[in-house]
Amino acid sequence: MIKLVNLLKEITEGKQVGNLYHYTDEENLLNILKTNKMMGFKRRYVGSNEAYYVSFTRNKNLFLNPSKIGSSFQVGIIFDGDKLSTKYKFEPHNSSETIKDEYEERIKLSLTSNKDISNIKEYILGIIILGDKFPAETYIKGNAGPKEYIKVPSKQRISDFENKITEYINTPIEVLYKSKYPIKINKQIKNQQDSLLNKLDEGKQVGSLYHFTLLKNLSSIIQNNTLIASNTTDFINKKKLKCISLTRTLNKKQFSISNESECILILNGDKLSNNYKITPHHDPNQYYFSDEEYDEMEERICKDIVNLSKYIIKIILYKTDSEIESLLQEKNIPYKIIKL
């Protein structure tokens, strides 16, 4: 009998989170590196008790739209989400109608203790400096006598900031420019920009996604090669939607709805994200909350997924019959049978 724990190890050695990004200002970044801690902010969200939260985003290109990350933000920190997830629990968050592509992930911390993420530098993969946020500045030297003005070029400001960063951490640093109006940048900085943008565009950091369903539904899904969006409710924005619900966890005990399922479709989230908008969803409906708060780790796609077979990694069967196995073999879809 194949154990579920062995399957989990086979599919992934760590949780499917991928790279995460946190945007902040120059002063706060240096404070994070100096103290080796990332402080949470006290918040109360719908369906949750008051607590301290640290926010990240899965949208690598959020810096391209300053209105979405805040005009005061000057730098981005790239984190190893998989490594963070081995110690901290992530929950997707999407409560704003004005910010559509934030793809926010939060870590919920204690209200009374452990209000920060300690040893934060061990999770940092790199630093992004938003070059446009470091324009040339003019300073007045001295307070007595004739005023003497000193102009510090943008390039010098960035170089000085990079030197400050390297005092606290040895990590890759990239300078990106995304101005509203064209600016002149030297060839070296342009190459750095193109290099990081190419890395960012190699593939979206989504990882494997899972869809729990019944055996009778699986047959129809495979035959039609389509996962059809079903009616649901957005409790936060109070409106009806047609969505496909996916999750980033294989733990059936994590939330009650999967306990009724008989099979799992394991999908390639990176490939899906190239053709479909994947939105994190945290349902505040009390149905999902008891003495212990459930975290569905839900992701939604609000349209039918066609040509489904090209996104299927594997199918897990908790129940099976000869008909469904023949169908999967005919369609050349990998599957595994697990008896719980």
pLDDT tens sequence across 86-126: 888 887 776 554 445 567 888 888 766 677 899 999 999 99
CA 208 – CA 84 distance, rounded (Å):
17
pLDDT for residue 292 is more than 50:
no
What is the maximum span of the chain, computed from C-alpha positions, in angstroms? 93
If you average pLDDT over each of 195-209, 245-259, 325-339, which comes out highest? 325-339
- pLDDT (mean) for 250-266: 71
CA 134 – CA 120 distance, rounded (Å):
25
The pairing of beta strand 104-109 with beta strand 90-93: antiparallel
So what's the pLDDT on residue 65?
62
- pLDDT (mean) for 324-333: 93
pLDDT in tens, 193-246: 455 545 444 445 678 889 999 998 999 999 999 999 988 776 556 677 889 989
Tell me the average pLDDT of the chain.
Answer: 76
CA 272 – CA 268 distance, rounded (Å):
6
pLDDT-based confidence at residue 184 (cuts at 50, 70, 90):
very low
pLDDT in tens, 27-62: 999 999 999 999 888 766 555 567 788 888 887 777
So what's the pLDDT on residue 298?
81
Q: How far is CA 308 from CA 224, 269, 303, in A?
A: 9, 12, 13
Contact (Cβ atoms closer than 8 angstroms) between residue 130 and residue 76: yes
Radius of gyration of the chain (CA): 23
**What's the pTM value of the predicted model, to 2 decimals?**
0.54
So what's the pLDDT on residue 182?
35
Which comes out higher in pLDDT, residue 308 or 248?
A: 308
> Quick one: how far is CA 8 from the chain centroid?
21
pLDDT-based confidence at residue 13 (cuts at 50, 70, 90):
very low
So what's the pLDDT on residue 234?
66
Which comes out higher in pLDDT, residue 251 or 69?
A: 251
Query: Of 202, 254, 207, 269, which is closest to residue 81 (Cα–Cα)?
Result: 207
